[in-house]
Every structure is written in structure tokens, then in C-alpha cells.
Amino acid sequence: MTNPVHDSKDQDVLTVLLVDDDPMWRFLTSTALRDRGWLVEDCESGSALLERLPASTADIILIDALMPGMDGFATCRAIRRTPRGRTLPILMLTSLEDDESIRDAYASGATAFFIKSTHWSLLAERVRDLVRLGEIGRQLDVSNARLAKVHLAARTGTFDFDFDTRTLHGAPGSFAVLGLDNSRTGISQHELLHLMVPEDRGVFWGAIGADLAARNRFRVEFRLSPIAGGVVRYMCAEGEPEYDADGRLRQLHGLIHDNTDDQRRREEMARLSSHDSLTGLPNRKEFLRRLSDAAAVAGAAGQTVQIAMFDLDRFTQFNETLGQAAGDELICETARRIEASAAQRVALIGNGAAHCLARLPGDEFVLMLTGIADPTEAETVVRAALQSMRRVCVVAGTECFLSASVGMASFPGDAESADILLARADRAVHEVKLRGRNDLIWFQPRFEQGGRGRIEMITGLHRALEREEFELHFQPWVDASVSRVTGLEALIRWRRDGKLVPPGEFIPLAEDTGLIIPIGEWVLRKAAGALAQWRRDGIDLECVAINIPTVHFERGSLLAEIKEAIERHDLRPRSLELELTETCMVRDFESTLPRLEALIEAGATLSIDDFGTGYSSLAYLTRLPISKLKVDRAFVNQLGVSTQGAAVCRAIVALGQSLGVKVLAEGVETPEQVQALRSLGCQTMQGFLFSRPVPVDQVPQAIRTAEQIARRLAEARSAPQRVTVEGDGVLHGS
Ligand code: C2E
Ligand code: MG
Ligand code: MG
């Protein structure tokens, strides 16, 4: 760094630019100064001086105040307007002593004034002082400019606050940190407060006062209001007080720092630690915090909070087959759908209802609903979200059909703390999975007893396979147009400790644990064996149907097993019917299709079980090599009850006809349903009306009874009479 005072100038040889209209005075002054070895450039008028100034090397200007034409004051003002003259010291020489001239001299930009006299040494000392001061001033300017740059770069400003004037003073650039012009060197307390966001104005001085009282230093944070579309900026002022001899607070000295970047980083860190990076949703920790808060508020107001936990069904399979990136996309899409649906429904409810969706690790989401008094209304919101998830979703060029198992729980009924409530919703999810997934269940206390029961159940299933505790029952179906049983569905049971356990209670668990594959193989072998035996006994059936769960289809060696069964029992082609679900068939359609065709090649036929509950598109259906649709019991139930039920049945029958496949109605329980189905054109029926599922040895009798019932119903149609069926299919006519 150079030191202008010493480096730029030899202090002993000064250059003076002198202007005076009086030649004598000019001569005397120049001579006196030259005698000291100085250089003097002199001119006789203001305008001459202004002309000379740009090329001049003067250290100081001496101006006579009174001159004809442009007087000393006007010249001084003009000098100050030039780049060269802006910072040069100007000494106004005057013979006047009145105060007004002195004031005018300063007002015109003079650095000092000097009464004309012949005390040349006095003048010379004055000139020397002014030059020195000017150099110091210039040096100060340089360092101020440097400081302003530092302030700007460090987003900091230093200040002294004066309690008398209530003003902050600072070097130029000090208040740039507040968004003010670089040239500002002072700002009133009032202006400072007005730069702040309104909430921070009232607490600013209080915070400083409290700090000073406690530790003789202060540190206060405040926010600046955004200017012209900008953002809120986070500031911090800190420093120390200065007291006078009487202990009165006189000044504060400190600095103001712009903490916005730090604050944003802190916020981002907080966001990352409380939010899921993939979906941007709150994470488990944050959700629990919000749930606790919501529960506290609801508890105080005597209100409830409901939560719904969504667990995507078979998400691992999507991830494995489509890849992690596609899995991530599915997660994001699911988040968007649940969020959009919940937001829409909750807005419709209004009345302070609110929601919050969070992502838990893996493929789980949890939705919190507040301000909804009626649990069924909350359930409607969740069901709508579940429904929105089920719409086809195209990821990595593949159409995916997502579903979820949803468990709901309510505060304070099901739990009084956030984490237990979450655990209980999770327990309900588990229950949905046990029952076959893709549904919603509210938590019930008895689910809690299940943990141990589940382990026992798994052990039991392993043992059941070894000890052959499974039984295969058969339920006939009837072709009502000819009153004949044309086939049977094989339905598994588990004889556990003398009691028959229905498949709904153990199949989902067997699927979860993979035990379904050996169980499925067992069912296939037994069913094929039974079919062969009936044929030998003279009971002629078109086919026997076997339920094939997705896990078995996707992971097992089904094709080989089918081939083996047909060969071993010398079965007729098309006598083994495999019941699959829509979702199983259309998932990953292009790779599934050849495998379905291979099964047909091997001699099996395919039907879609529980048709109407899945979500396949017509485009797929036309390409599937199926020969039968089994209308789900849920729709048959509705025949004669709701017009919608009848409409769905009618649509499915019409669809079957146009696809050229048979349509079978499941769960037929009443003669009225038979009538209705026949009038829709559906002739194949299965249900308790004809026969319940029966053990293999009772099949011949069950077939006879079912056909007898079918005949009686046909007769009743031609000759109207009331037909009722009671108990286990015993027919009563009147
Ligand atoms: P599904 O394949 O839809 O079987 C029809 C179910 O409806 C059977 O229940 C049957 O007993 C019942 N059902 C038949 N007619 C009527 C009726 O008129 N009214 C009523 N209320 N129900 C009727 P089940 O045997 O309890 O089987 C339930 C489900 O378990 C089956 O539904 C099937 O998905 C599965 N399942 C049964 N056996 C097997 C099996 O061997 N392997 C596999 N993987 N799943 C099986
Ligand atoms: Mg079935
Ligand atoms: Mg079914």
C-alpha cells in the first residue's frame, strides 16, 4: 500500500495555483511562496484558472474572494464540479472579515479561509497544513472506498448509534447491507425500523435492552422487508455500548451482518432433516411432531385426529422388475395423487378440516386428517385417495396398476400419543395385508393380539404342509340352460386342531411368506388327482378350476407343474382351469402374455376371478387368452338391490359376449338372482344356492343336488311357484 502523504509529494516543494485579479497582490504572494522554494502557477481570473486546472499539478488552490466577473465563491463552486478540483484543498483569501463571507466561503466548497495579510510565513504554514490535511482526506477516501467494498463483500456494515440524535452513523458503504445507497453515512432510527418486517419492529429495542442489562453486549436478529419483489433478508446487529462518566448510555458501537445465506442453509438443513428428499413430503420424524401438535390441539378442544397409513401393495416387485428409478417415479406419482385427492376432498369438507401427508421409509405414506368430526367422512377422504392411486400409471413405458393396504386409526380413541397411534395404524395395515391387501381397515384392539398369533400361524402352516392338514373342498357350478354341473372350483381349507380354517385367514399369510408356492402345488396335484378319479367313477366334468395367486404365477414353476399334472393323470386338454386375477394378468402385460399363452399351449384354460374388482383396461382384455370371466360376488349380491349392481352385471355379461368368453356369476344365493342373471343372458352360476364347497367324497351328492335345484328353478320359471332354499341347499317348493 502506498502512503500518498509521503510518497506522492515531497512535502517541502509544494505547487500552488493562485488566482487573484490584483497583479500586485499576485506578485507579492507568488514571490513570498517562491522564496520558500515552492512552485506557483498564477492566473488573473476564475475562468483562466478553470482552463489551467486540468493540466495543473497544484497541491492547493488559493483564490481571492472578490474578483470582477466570476468571483471567488463562484470559481470555488466551479472547481468543485471538476474531477481534478473535487478533492483539492482550496484556501479562500479574503480581505473581508464579516461572518457572511466566511460562511459563503465554506458553502461554496472552500476548505478554509485566510485573511489577506503580509504575514507570509503564517500563510505558508496554513497552506502546508491544508495540503497535509487534503492528503489525509484523500487517504481516508481511499480507505473508505476500500472499506465500503469490504462491507459489501462481507455483507456487513459498521455503525455507531447515537442516543441523542437517534441516528446510526457509519462510513460510506456501511448501510449498503441494509439495501441503502453506498454513499449513505447516516440513517435515522425511524428509517431503520421501517426497513424491517413489521413484526420485528416492536421487539428490536426490547431485545437490545435485555441483552445490555444481562451482559453489556447486545446481539439482535431482525428481518428486512423484501424490496421490489425480492426476498426477506435475515440480519443480525451486534456490538457494545458506550456510557458517559455519569453512567448514561451514550452510544452503541457495532456491526450489522446479513445472515440470509446462513439462515437459508439452516432452513435447508432443517428441511432435509424433516423432509423426504424424493417426494419433498414431511418425513416420519416431522410427521410425528405435527401429529403430536395436532393431537394436543384436538385434545384440548375435545376433537379427534384421524390418520391413514398407506402401504403400497407388492411395491418390491415393481422395483425389482422396473428398476429403482421407475420405482422412485411410482413413489412420487403416488405421493402426488394422494396429496391432490386429499387436498380436494378436505377443501370440500371445509369447516377447518385440514390434512398433512408424509412419507415413511420405503413404500409407506401416512395421511393426517384434522378438523373432521365424523370418522366416516374421514374414511371417505382416504378411500378417494386410495381410488386415485388405482388409476393406471405409466412408468418406464409400462402401465402399472398400483393399490395399497390402508390402516386407519383415530386419536384419542385408538391411542393417546402420536407414536402409538402410528403403530396402531400400521397394525391395521398389517391386518389388511393378511386379508388379501388393497383395502382399508380401521384399527381394532384385537389386532394387537396378533403378533404372536402370526408367528404361530406361520409355524402352523409349515407343519400343515408336512402333516397334510390341508383339505381340498369343491364347489360345483351349474349351467342353468341345461341344469347341469359342468365344473367344480377347488377351494382349500386347513383342518387345524379339529376346526376348518377358511382360506381368507391363511392364504394372505402364505403369500407373504412364500409358502403359497408349495401349497399351490399341493392344490394342483390334489385337484388333478380328484378329476381323474371322478372320471374313473363315471362323473363327467368339463373341468376343475384352481385358484392361482399372483405370487405362484410369478415366482413358481407353474407351467412345469401343469404339464406334469396333465401327463401324470392323463387329463383331457382344457380340463384344468386356472383362475387368476385381472391385476395379476395385466401387470407387466407384455412379459406376462407369452407365459399365459404357454399355459394354454400346455392344455390349461384361463379365467379371470373376482372380475370387476380389478382395474384392467379393455385394451388388455381383448388380448388376454381367457375363456371365462367370473363376476365377483359383490356385484351378484346387488342384483335386485341396487340398480348399479345390475348395471355392472349387465355390462360384464355384454362384455363377455363381445369378447366371446363365458361369464360365470359367483356367490349366487337366491332364486331371484338366478332369474335376474338368466334374463341378463348369464347361464353359468356358482353359489350356496346350488351347493356350498364340499369335501371330495361328497362331490357326487353335491352335484346331484345342484342339478336338481337347477331343474326345479327352471321348472319354476316356466310354471311360477315360490322356491326357497334352506340350510345346506335343501330345496323347498310350494
Ligand atoms: P374365490 O376364488 O372367489 O372363491 C369363492 C369364494 O366364495 C369361496 O370362499 C366360496 O366358499 C365363496 N362362496 C361361494 N359361493 C358363495 C355364496 O353363495 N355366498 C358366499 N357368501 N360365499 C360364497 P372361500 O372358500 O372362503 O375362499 C375364499 C378365497 O380364498 C377364494 O375366493 C380364493 O381367492 C381363495 N382361495 C380359496 N382356495 C384357494 C386355493 O386353493 N388357493 C389359493 N391360492 N386361493 C384360494
Ligand atoms: Mg376362485
Ligand atoms: Mg372369486
Q: Does residue 605 have its Cβ closer than 6 Å to ligand 1?
A: no
Closest CA to 438 of 318, 340, 314, 317: 314
Give the separation between CA 108 and CA 126, rounded to whole angstroms: 19
Ligand closest to Cα of 694 equals: 1
Ligand closest to Cα of 491 equals: 1
Ligand 1, atom 34, residue with closest C-alpha: 547
**Per-residue pLDDT at 536:** 94
Q: Does residue 544 have its Cβ closer than 6 Å to ligand 1?
A: no
Q: Does residue 688 have its Cβ closer than 6 Å to ligand 1?
A: yes
Ligand 1, atom 6, residue with closest C-alpha: 667
Ligand closest to Cα of 503 equals: 1
Gap from CA of 663 to ligand 3 centroid (Å): 12
Closest CA to 410 of 513, 307, 504: 307
Q: Does residue 725 have its Cβ closer than 6 Å to ligand 1?
A: no
Mutate-to-test residue for ligand 1 from 491, 513, 558, highest number of ligand atoms within 8 A of CB: 491
Q: What is the DSSP letter of 246?
A: T
* 644, 625 contact by CB (below 8 A): no
Q: Does residue 503 have its Cβ closer than 6 Å to ligand 1?
A: yes
Residue ranges for the chain with pLDDT beneath 70: 1-11, 96-98, 436, 449-452, 556, 613-617, 719-734
Ligand 1, atom 11, residue with closest C-alpha: 693
**Per-residue pLDDT at 96:** 62
Q: Name the burial class of residue 167, with classes exposed (0-12), middle (13-18) and buried (19+) by CB atoms within 10 angstroms of its CB.
A: middle
CA 130 from chain center: how many Å? 68
Q: Does residue 507 have its Cβ closer than 6 Å to ligand 1?
A: yes
**Per-residue pLDDT at 240:** 94
Closest CA to 440 of 391, 402, 384, 392: 384
Supply φ then ψ for residue 345, to 5 degrees: -65, -45
Alpha helices in 35-98 (DSSP H): 46-52, 72-80
Q: Does residue 669 have its Cβ closer than 6 Å to ligand 1?
A: yes
* 35, 126 contact by CB (below 8 A): no
Alpha helices in 312-417 (DSSP H): 315-322, 324-349, 375-390
**Per-residue pLDDT at 11:** 56
**Structural domains in the chain, sorted by start:** 4-143 (3.40.50.2300), 155-264 (3.30.450.20), 279-443 (3.30.70.270), 458-699 (3.20.20.450)
Mutate-to-test residue for ligand 1 from 438, 471, 547, 677, highest number of ligand atoms within 8 A of CB: 547
Ligand 1, atom 45, residue with closest C-alpha: 547
Ligand 1, atom 20, residue with closest C-alpha: 667
Gap from CA of 730 to ligand 2 centroid (Å): 24
Gap from CA of 610 to ligand 2 centroid (Å): 7
Gap from CA of 480 to ligand 1 centroid (Å): 21
Q: Extract the runs of DSSP E, i.e. beta strands, from 548-588.
A: 576-580
Gap from CA of 468 to ligand 3 centroid (Å): 25
Ligand 1 atom at shortest distance from the alpha carbon of 510:
44
Gap from CA of 15 to ligand 3 centroid (Å): 111
Gap from CA of 466 to ligand 2 centroid (Å): 25
Sign of CA dihedral 595, 598, 603, 607: positive
Ligand 1 atom at shortest distance from the alpha carbon of 610:
3
Angle 384-403-379 from CA coordinates, rounded to 5° = 30
Ligand 1 atom at shortest distance from the alpha carbon of 516:
44
Gap from CA of 311 to ligand 2 centroid (Å): 25
Ligand 1, atom 22, residue with closest C-alpha: 667
Ligand 1, atom 38, residue with closest C-alpha: 491
Give the separation between CA 85 and CA 82, rounded to whole angstroms: 5
Gap from CA of 547 to ligand 3 centroid (Å): 9
Ligand 1 atom at shortest distance from the alpha carbon of 549:
44
Closest CA to 316 of 512, 121, 461: 512
Angle 253-258-262 from CA coordinates, rounded to 5° = 130
Gap from CA of 566 to ligand 1 centroid (Å): 24
Gap from CA of 688 to ligand 2 centroid (Å): 14
Ligand closest to Cα of 632 equals: 3
**Per-residue pLDDT at 450:** 57
Supply φ then ψ for residue 581, to 5 degrees: -95, 160
Sheet holding 90-94, edge to edge: 39-43, 15-19, 60-64, 90-94, 112-115
| Residue 140 grid cell | 481516508
Gap from CA of 546 to ligand 2 centroid (Å): 7
Residues near ion ligand 2 (Cβ under 5 Å): 547, 579, 609
Give the separation between CA 676 and CA 672, rounded to whole angstroms: 6
Q: Does residue 687 have its Cβ closer than 6 Å to ligand 1?
A: yes
Ligand 1, atom 17, residue with closest C-alpha: 667
Closest CA to 417 of 293, 515, 235, 572: 293
Q: Does residue 523 have its Cβ closer than 6 Å to ligand 1?
A: yes
Give the separation between CA 447 and CA 213, rounded to whole angstroms: 60
Determine the 3-state secondary structure of 661 from DSSP. Answer: coil
Determine the 3-state secondary structure of 233 from DSSP. Answer: strand
Gap from CA of 151 to ligand 1 centroid (Å): 79
Q: Does residue 551 have its Cβ closer than 6 Å to ligand 1?
A: no
Ligand closest to Cα of 578 equals: 2
Reported as a single tens digit per residue, the pLDDT across 366-376 is 999 999 999 99
Gap from CA of 611 to ligand 2 centroid (Å): 10
| Residue 346 grid cell | 378436505
Gap from CA of 441 to ligand 1 centroid (Å): 21
Ligand 1, atom 46, residue with closest C-alpha: 547
Reported as a single tens digit per residue, the pLDDT across 583-641 is 788 777 888 899 999 999 999 999 999 887 655 567 788 889 999 999 988 788 888 87
Ligand 1 atom at shortest distance from the alpha carbon of 548:
44
Q: Does residue 547 have its Cβ closer than 6 Å to ligand 1?
A: yes
Gap from CA of 497 to ligand 1 centroid (Å): 21
